[in-house]
Amino acid sequence: MSSAPPDARHLPKAELHLHIEGTLEPGTAFALAERNGITLPYSSPEELHRRYDFTDLGSFLELYYALMDVLRTEQDFSDLAEAYLERSAEQGVRHAEIFFDPQAHTSRGVSIGTVIEGLGRALDTSEERYGISTRLILCFLRDSSPAEAAETLASAEPYLHRITGVGLDSAEAGHPPGPFRDVYRRAAELGLRRVAHAGEEGPAAYVAEALDELGVERIDHGRRALEDPALVRRLVEERVPLTVCPLSNVRLRGVDTLADHPLPQMLDAGLLATVNSDDPSYFGGYAADNFTACAEALGLGEEQLRLLARNSFLASFLDDDEERRARYLAEVDAFRF
């Protein structure tokens, strides 16, 4: 009989791949709909939850964007971030680099200021209340035009003090990173860090293109990079972090079951892989839930879990606060399972 997997719930960890809109729980969606006088096309949170049976990235994104309609005011965005922080504090998260999708809101008439100030209101006091340091990463929608991405970045300039970096998300297949090179160059000029989703549904070539054309410092997902051994060698040599999202990959059918997930091969290859929740409300688990599920399905032991936690802080954008990074790493080393 195999022994119980190590308990990673309180293992200190950083979450580096988290879409704040993907933390919208069914019950919260109903509460916000009521507050804003919106009628959702579902009879109950339970019925909504039953729709979380996705066949691919596209089928998820359809519901993800539709449900955002309940997010209208600064208070809504603040409440959303607040709920995420509260959940994450129970999941051992000590540092969170949080994605948001401004175009999914501005296209509905919600201003980027409403989004950023609302999120910022909750994040401003996150450390005192939850012991979680935070960063915000503004994502461009790759299935909209590079011109729209450039306009979005320009509209964010008054809020740059709240923003650490830019990312690229939404439907990947058929939407390579290259066309976004000019907006990424502008982001770098503005002092922003750069990441991009690549190799989730798109090919390994998109991972290389994100590095070469966009100058990204981390790859979000990167799972399909494994299809190209030369690219894997490059990612290892250049210490490019991958923000892997195991439960997301299963729910969007990138892998058949969690037991088939290539996370152990990634670690064995020497890749700087991290474990993250992506859109935890939709994919069945927050940060520690992903660690625990991987420990169970993949037989990860204490040292692999500790390595993943160390990687999360090493891959984080804490370069502006190395003292804090060192403190978090020491917490990981001192943790007893």
Please identify every residue annotated as catalytic.
Answer: 200
Q: Decide which of ligand HPA, Zn ion, none touches 200; Cβ closer than 5 to 8 Å per partner kind.
A: ligand HPA
Near Zn ion by CB under 5 A: residue from 254, 278, 282, 289: 278
Instruction: Identify the CA nearest to 81 among candidates 131, 134, 138, 152.
Output: 134
Binding mask 267-306 for ligand HPA (x = CB under 6 A): -----------xx---------------------------
Q: How far is the CB of 248 from Zn ion (least distance, A)?
A: 7
Neighbours of 30 (CB within 10 A): 17
Binding mask 237-266 for ligand HPA (x = CB under 6 A): -----------x------------------
Q: Does 22 participate in binding ligand HPA (rule CB under 6 A)?
A: yes
Q: Which two tokens stand for residue 40?
A: 């959702």
Binding mask 121-160 for ligand HPA (x = CB under 6 A): ----------------------------------------
Q: DSSP for 115-161? A: HHHHHHHHHTTHHHHHS-EEEEEEEEETTS-HHHHHHHHHHHGGGGG
Nearer to ligand HPA, 248 or 290 (CB): 248
Q: 3-state class of 46 per DSSP?
A: helix
Give the integer Cα–Cα distance in Å for 210 and 216.
Answer: 6
Strand partners, 245: none
Nearer to Zn ion, 200 or 213 (CB): 200
Q: Does 15 participate in binding ligand HPA (rule CB under 6 A)?
A: no
Give the integer Cα–Cα distance in Å for 203 and 167.
Answer: 18
Q: How far is the CB of 138 from ligand HPA (least distance, A)?
A: 13
Neighbours of 326 (CB within 10 A): 12
Give the integer Cα–Cα distance in Å for 108 and 111.
Answer: 9
Near ligand HPA by CB under 6 A: residue from 97, 200, 209, 217: 200
Instruction: Identify the CA nearest to 130 among candidates 82, 180, 192, 174.
Output: 82
Q: How far is the CB of 79 from ligand HPA (least distance, A)?
A: 19
Residues that bind ligand HPA (CB under 6 A): 19, 22, 57, 64, 169-170, 197, 200, 248, 278-279
| Binding residues vs Zn ion (CB under 5 A) | 278
